[in-house]
Amino acid sequence: MSNRISKLREQVDRLDVKMNEHSFVSTTGKSAVELPKAANEAVADHVSAVDDAAVERLRALIDEMDRRVADTSPALGRSDTRERILEMAIGLFAQRGFEACTVRDLADAVGIKPPGLYSHFKSKEDILSEAMLRALRGFLADACAPTAAAGAPARLHETVRRHIIYQLEHAQLTRAHDLLLNSKSVGQFLPEAERQLLHDARRAYYELIRARVAAASKPVSDLDLTTSTFAILTLCDGVVNWYRPEGELTAAQVADRYWDLISLMLQIA
């Protein structure tokens, strides 16, 4: 995308603009004011199309997560007990390790007898799969929610703000999900289809951030754009490592301060 934007602007720069006694006139017969305006409109349209495509890709993956979960849900539908199992499971799996955490451990934490788990899930692996999809799905749905933010910097700002606040309001879930995602459990015990879906969803979110960074700033190269994107993601993800709710800053205030840092890094006015 950044290459296409550069080419559009180079085309404008190369236009042979001549001056007459009334105005600047290009070889195309358009005024020098009209030419950059047309190019900028083309750039804006392209940026908007890329952003829309990234959001739609994420929404499609969220829909696929919902279908996977629906396929593994019992015919009687979801229940409070099933939700409690998922909430407890991701934390216990991350804390003790998937293999070390037994069905009895999980049942005791939920307050049911071990056979009761199998009324809701076919196996412990199914619990892991749905818990992982559920955690990431919640984050992505929040990131893709409609926004009134207008303009590339405002969209990036809103995305960063949502990322940080979601992380801090769901800190325990976020830590557990990240620990499991980086553990051997995902590779060993998740079905290939679920592993690929998690990978695709995380990649699609990266592409959304990358597109918004490119639109909001002026990266000098693809490497610069990639580095900036990963720096922002690392900042946003890492906030759970130090933030304490009882501290002086609210989640929203942390998000504002992080945006100040990011806008300085990207040289966004």
pLDDT of residue 22: 36
Q: Provide the residue count of the chain.
A: 269
pLDDT of residue 50: 84
Q: What is the mean pLDDT of residues 28-50?
A: 56
pLDDT of residue 36: 52
Assess contact for 20 and 28: CB atoms under 8 A: no
pLDDT of residue 20: 35
Assess contact for 137 and 227: CB atoms under 8 A: no
Q: Confidence class of residue 48 from pLDDT cuts 50, 70 and 90?
A: confident
When mean pLDDT is compared over 116-120, 135-139, 178-182, the highest value belongs to 135-139
Q: Confidence class of residue 182 from pLDDT cuts 50, 70 and 90?
A: confident
Q: What is the mean pLDDT of residues 197-210?
A: 95
pLDDT of residue 26: 41
Q: Residue 19: beta bridge partners?
A: 24
* Token pair recorded at residue 31: 């005024």
- Return the SS3 of 85: helix
Under DSSP, the state recorded for 24 is: E
pLDDT of residue 35: 43
Percent of the chain with pLDDT over 90: 60
Quote the CA–CA distance of 241 and 237 in Å, as a whole number: 9
pLDDT of residue 73: 64
Quote the CA–CA distance of 24 and 31 in Å, as a whole number: 6
Segment 225-242, tens digit of pLDDT: 999 999 999 999 999 999
Q: What is the mean pLDDT of residues 107-123?
A: 91
Buried b vs exposed e over 245-267: b needs ≥16 C-beta within 10 Å?
Answer: eeeeeebeebbeebbeebbeebe
When mean pLDDT is compared over 5-14, 43-52, 206-215, the highest value belongs to 206-215
- For the cut 60, the answer to whether the pLDDT of residue 67 exceeds it is yes
